[in-house]
Amino acid sequence: DYGQLEGCTAAMCSRDKVLVEALRNDYDIHTEWMHRLVKLYPDWLNGDDIKDKTIAKHYRSITKNKLVFPAIYGASNDSIASYLNVPPDIADDLMDEFWGIFTGLAHWQTVTMKNYYETGYVSSPTGRRHYYPLTRNQVINFPVQGVASDIVCNSMNALSMYASQTGRWELHPRLNIHDDLTFVVPDDSKSIDEAIQTIYEVMLTPTYDFINVPLSVEISTGKNWYEMKEVGKFWSHKDV
């Protein structure tokens, strides 16, 4: 499972210096803005204690899907307030803070919309195009998610080709869900260890020259998804 892949591809598209530097330092954008929201509006927690890891994970997920990604994809402050169920003035203050930090991302959104209105399409760094008619969210969303999809598909193709060439069919991806790949590997420690190393090395080395932040992959193993246990997290700038 790629870690924060769309945060990374937002940095690739926008070249936002603050976001790029933060991701190079293993910045968890979702946890950071969860804490910022709680500090600004403690009532958002409804009395819950985010010192509890399970509760913190729940609120991090809410922040990810209702604040960070909507902001990256061009949602209005009113929409974000509605998603989070917070007062509009709280959302205004929080987003003023957000865009005051990520000025490069804001500028990229503005330029992307301008180019779309002038040409009638939006392009991703890999050359994909999406044509009129599109909403603002669709225009800004397309390059970020398009690049994320291309990175995942690049890894799937590379691993499938490697499996075909070597006969190691356990390295052929059996299932893809968003930025997660699933493999079926023989149940012995040697096969598992060898597969893990090959998989993360391929997933962390896509052949695109616009990648400007480290990529990470979180790997878990188990008999089924319910019993998965995390093996570790691997980084393109540390482990490859």
Q: pLDDT tens-digit profile of 208-229?
A: 999 999 999 999 999 998 999 9
Q: Has residue 26 got a pLDDT over 90? A: no
Is a pLDDT exceeding 90 seen at residue 193?
yes
On the question of pLDDT at 239 being above 90, the answer is yes
- Is residue 68 predicted with pLDDT exceeding 90? yes
Q: Encode pLDDT of 69-109 as tens digits.
A: 999 988 999 999 999 999 999 999 999 999 999 999 999 99
Q: Dihedrals φ, ψ of 113, to 5°?
A: -65, -40
Measured between alpha carbons, how far is 197 from 240 in angstroms, rounded to an integer?
Answer: 9
Q: What is the residue-averaged pLDDT of the chain?
A: 96
pLDDT tens digits, 47-66: 999 999 999 999 999 999 99
Question: What percentage of the chain has pLDDT greater than the value 70?
Answer: 100
* CA–CA distance, 73 with 139 (Å, rounded to integer): 8
pLDDT over 90 at 40, yes or no? yes
pLDDT at 126: 96
What pLDDT, on the 0 to 100 scale, is given for residue 184?
97
Distance in angstroms (rounded) separating the CA atoms of residues 154 and 152: 5
Q: Is the per-residue pLDDT at 27 higher than 90?
A: no
Give the burial string for 187-210 (b: 16+ CB within 10 Å, else e).
eeeeebeebbebbbebbbebeeee
